[in-house]
Amino acid sequence: MPEAPEPTETAAVQHSDFGRRVAARRQELGLTAQDLADRTGASEAYVRYVEEQAAHPASGFALRLAAALDTDVDTLLGGTYTRPPGTADAARTPEFLELSEQECRALLSSHGVGRVAVQLPHGPVVLPVNYTMTSDGSVAFRTRPGSSLSGATGQEVAFEVDRVDDALSEGWSVLVVGVACTVTDPDTAAALVDQAHSEPWAGGERDQWLLVTPRRISGRRIRRATG
């Protein structure tokens, strides 16, 4: 079982991008550090060390980490950041599955990054947003007043979230279709601010909340056929 070396004073403040990605993926899956330790055969202290210090784990442990986190080492290292997903070849025996609404909502989870597609006077646009799922199942996101997305108010829009596993040539996508509306009630807007996982990644003054109440939700999954 890997053990954490004694951290030096310098190492104590040097967090690595690898460790941040490990911690973020673990939290995304709802796992504790002990859960990840159990999955990888390591101690909780070593998992914490990898996440919080400038650690460089051996390739064998990195592979176990990736498997335990249902991802690949390249993703944890950030090697996929500069290229689009889906560059791998198709699986030899792919299986296409339609997802139920319950499965779709589970994949949407509580928050994340998705894409909003809307028809504007100058043509269609598709823009990424940080989103939050509300208690009634609506999609909430922020934008700037006067921006392209603010023009979606009152229109039917499409909201899409997906994930691709290049290592296995598998993936899923969820599509939400509904009418976008601007949140005008100050209390509702304040509650959404409190519920939001983070500020919008794009930064700036984005204080106009939009809600998309689903009229229909659909999803699909591609995986390797079993058996």
pLDDT digits (tens, 9 = 90+) for 18-63: 888 899 889 988 999 999 999 999 999 999 999 998 777 888 898 9
d(CA 129, CA 179): 16
User: For residue 12, what pLDDT band results from cuts at 50, 70 and 90?
Assistant: very low
Given a contact cutoff of 8 angstroms between Cβ atoms, the answer to whether 140 and 132 are in contact is: yes
Identify the helix (H) or strand (E) that includes residue 48. helix 44-52
The 10s digit of each residue's pLDDT in 166-208 is: 666 788 999 999 999 999 999 999 999 998 888 887 877 888 9
d(CA 170, CA 29): 18
Please give the radius of gyration of the chain, using alpha carbons only, rounded to the nearest integer: 20
- Rounded to the nearest integer, the mean pLDDT of the chain is 84
Domains and CATH numbers, the chain: 11-77 (1.10.260.40), 94-224 (2.30.110.10)
pTM reported for the whole predicted model:
0.65
